[in-house]
A and B are shown apart, each in its own frame.
Chain A
Amino acid sequence: MSGTVTVRIQKIKKNTVKGRLIFFLILAVILLLVTIFADRIVPYDPYAQDLSKSMMPPSSEHLMGTDRYGRDMFSRVIVGAQVSIFSTLALVGVISVFGTIVGTLCGYYGGAVDAIVMRISDVCLAFPGLVFALAIAALLGGGVGNAVIALAVISWPKYARVARSQTLALKNVPFVLAARLSGCTSLQMILRHILPNILGPILVTAMLDIGTMMMELAGLSFLGLGAQPPTAEWGNMMSGGRSMLQTYPWLVLSPGLAIFVTVVIFNLLGDTVRDYMDPKNSRAR
C-alpha cells in the first residue's frame, strides 16, 4: 500500500518539474522571439526624436512614457533587448565553451599546466568580478563588444572549475578505464565518454549564469563602459534617466522592469533545468 503511495508522489513531482520546464522554456522562447523581431513589432521608431513629446508619462499612446528627447520608451526597451539579450547569450556561450575545454583538458591531463591554469582561475575567482571587468573595460574603451570581452576574461574560470572537477571524478570511474582498455586515444576518451557525461552540470551552470551576466553587462553599460548612447540598451537607458528618477521615474523603471523580468525568467529556467537534470528526477529515459 505504502509502495503505491510513494510511487504516486514521485510521479506527480516529476510531472510538475517537466511542466515547469516547459512553462519557462515557452517564456524564454517568447522573450527571444520578441527580441529577434523587435524591429518589426515596435510601435514607434526607437531613435526618432520629437522634443514636443518629451518626458510624457506612461499613457495608452506611450505605454512606458517618453524620454527627454521624446523617444518612445516602450519601443526603446524592446529594441534594447537585442543588445542586452544577444550579447549576454554570446558571452555565456563563449565562456562556457572556452571554460569547459580548458577545464576538461586540465582535469584530464593534470600536471604543471593544470596547476598554473587553476591558480590563474583562483585569481579571477578571488577578485570581485565586476571590479576586474571594469578595469579591463576601461582599458579597452567603451562598447558592447569590449564589455563582453571584459566579462569573458573574468568569468570563464567558473566553467573551467566545474568541468575540471567533473572530469577528475569521471577519470577513475570503471567505464572510463574500460574505454582506455578498449584502445581509445585520449581525444576519443574526452569526446566520446567524458564530455557527454559532464555536459549536464555545465548546461545548468550556464543557464543560471545568464541572469547574472545580463546584470553585469547592464551594470557595465550603466557605468558608461558598455553600450554607448544613443544605442538603446537597458543599462545605459537606466543610466541616462537616473538623474531624473524622482521626477520622471518611468525613465529608470521601464528598463529596470525589463532587466528584472528577463533575469527572473532565465534564473527560474536555470533552476528548473537543474531540477530536471537531477539524477533523482530523470534517471529513466
Chain B
Amino acid sequence: MEPILRVTDLSKSFSRAGKNEFFAVDHVSFDVMPGEILGIVGESGSGKSTIARLITRQIDATTGTIEIDGQDITRLVGRHLIPVYAKIQMVFQTPAGSFDPRRTLGDGICESLRNKGVSKAERESRARGLLEKCGLPPEFLERYPHQVSGGQCQRAAIARALMCDPRILIFDEATSALDVTVQKQIIELLQQLQEEKGLAYLFICHNLALVQQFCDKVIVLYDGKIVEHGLPDEVILQPHSDYARRLVDAIF
C-alpha cells in the first residue's frame, strides 16, 4: 500500500549571522500509511511544530521532499496547493485563535466548500452533520469564537478540518490547551472518526501516556532529529536512546 504521507530527508535550517546554521528539523524521514496514527513526541523546541508547518507548506523546506498521496508538494506554491489542501488538513493548538474573531464558526467551517463553489444550503447541511458528529448542536454555526469554550472550539475546528473529506489530519498539540476531561472526550471523538472514515493522523503531542494509548507508531524527536521510531510500547517501555529514556523517566 502507498503511504498517504511520505517525508524523506526533510530539514529546515535557519542561518544565523556569524554562527553555524541551525537545524530546526534535521534530515527527518517517515511515512504515514492510510488509516494510521503516527505520534510525534519531543520537548519544546525539538522541531515538532516545524514539521507540521513544513508539511502544510506554511514554510519552505531546506532539503528533502514531502509527498502527499504520491504527489511531491515540496515546492508547490499558491494556487497549486489548493487541491493538496483537500487531502491534508490541520487542527491547531490554540482553539480560540483558529477561528476568525469577526466571523461565525459556521463561516469558518464552511469556508473550504465555499471556496470550491458548493452552494450555501449544501455546505451548511454538511457542516451541521459534521458538527453533530463532533458532538456540537447545529446552532454553533451561528456562534462567534469568543462565545464558545476551548473544547467546543476545538470540536468545531475538527469539523472544519473534516469538511473537505481529507485523507490525513495533522494535530499540532491540539489537545494541549484543554483540560484532561475534555482532552479525553476529544481523543474518543478522534478514535471514532478514525474508525469510521479510515483517516490517517499525524498526532503531535508532548503527552507520552496519550501517545502510548492512541498512536499506532511513534517518533521521538530531539534537537530536530529522530532519536526513536517504532511501536509506542517499544519506544516507551524499552527506549534505546538516552534522550528517550530520560523523557520516559521524567514522566513515569
A111 contacts the other chain (Cβ, under 8 Å)? no
**Chain B, 108-124, CB within 8 A of any chain A CB:** 108, 111-112, 115-116
A182 touches B112 (CB 8 A): yes
Distance, CA A177 to CA B108, complexed state (A): 12
A283 contacts the other chain (Cβ, under 8 Å)? yes
B101 contacts the other chain (Cβ, under 8 Å)? yes
Q: Which of A56-64, A117-125, A126-134, A185-193 contacts B (4 or more CB under 8 A)?
A: A185-193
Shortest CB-to-CB span from B94 to chain A, Å, is 6
B92 touches A177 (CB 8 A): yes
A197 touches B101 (CB 8 A): yes
Contacts of A188 in B (CB 8 A): 115
State whether A174 and B85 are in contact (beta carbons under 8 Å apart), knowing that A182-B112, A186-B78, A197-B102 are contacts in the complex: no
Shortest CB-to-CB span from B92 to chain A, Å, is 4
Q: Pick the contact of B79: A185, A197, A285 (CB < 8 A).
A: A185
Distance, CA A75 to CA B108, complexed state (A): 55
Contacts of A185 in B (CB 8 A): 78-79, 82, 115
A12 contacts the other chain (Cβ, under 8 Å)? no
Contacts of A181 in B (CB 8 A): 56, 85, 88-90, 112, 161
B100 touches A175 (CB 8 A): yes
Q: Pick the contact of A183: B85, B97, B99, B102 (CB < 8 A).
A: B85
- Which residue of chain B has its CB nearest to the CB of A285? B144
Contacts of B78 in A (CB 8 A): 185-186
B86 contacts the other chain (Cβ, under 8 Å)? yes
B98 touches A184 (CB 8 A): no
Contacts of B89 in A (CB 8 A): 181
Distance, CA A285 to CA B56, complexed state (A): 34
Distance, CA A179 to CA B101, complexed state (A): 13
B160 contacts the other chain (Cβ, under 8 Å)? yes
Distance, CA A177 to CA B102, complexed state (A): 16
B58 contacts the other chain (Cβ, under 8 Å)? yes
- Which residue of chain B has its CB nearest to the CB of A279? B101
Distance, CA A174 to CA B82, complexed state (A): 18
Shortest CB-to-CB span from B153 to chain A, Å, is 11
The prevalent SS among residues of A at the interface is: helix
A178 touches B115 (CB 8 A): no
B92 touches A193 (CB 8 A): no
Distance, CA A193 to CA B88, complexed state (A): 21
Q: Pick the contact of B160: A182, A184, A186, A197 (CB < 8 A).
A: A182
A230 contacts the other chain (Cβ, under 8 Å)? no
**Chain B, 146-185, CB within 8 A of any chain A CB:** 146, 157, 160-161, 163-164
Contacts of A3 in B (CB 8 A): none
Distance, CA A174 to CA B93, complexed state (A): 8
Shortest CB-to-CB span from B70 to chain A, Å, is 20
Shortest CB-to-CB span from A120 to chain B, Å, is 26
A183 touches B116 (CB 8 A): yes
Shortest CB-to-CB span from A19 to chain B, Å, is 25
B101 touches A178 (CB 8 A): no
Shortest CB-to-CB span from B156 to chain A, Å, is 11
A175 touches B99 (CB 8 A): yes
Distance, CA A188 to CA B103, complexed state (A): 14
A-B contact pairs, 22 of them (CB 8 A): A174-B92, A177-B58, A177-B90, A179-B100, A180-B58, A181-B56, A181-B90, A181-B112, A181-B161, A182-B112, A182-B115, A182-B163, A182-B164, A183-B82, A183-B112, A183-B115, A184-B115, A185-B115, A186-B78, A192-B100, A197-B100, A285-B144
Q: Known pairs A175-B108, A177-B58; list 4 more (Cβ under 8 Å).
A: A173-B97, A182-B111, A192-B100, A192-B103
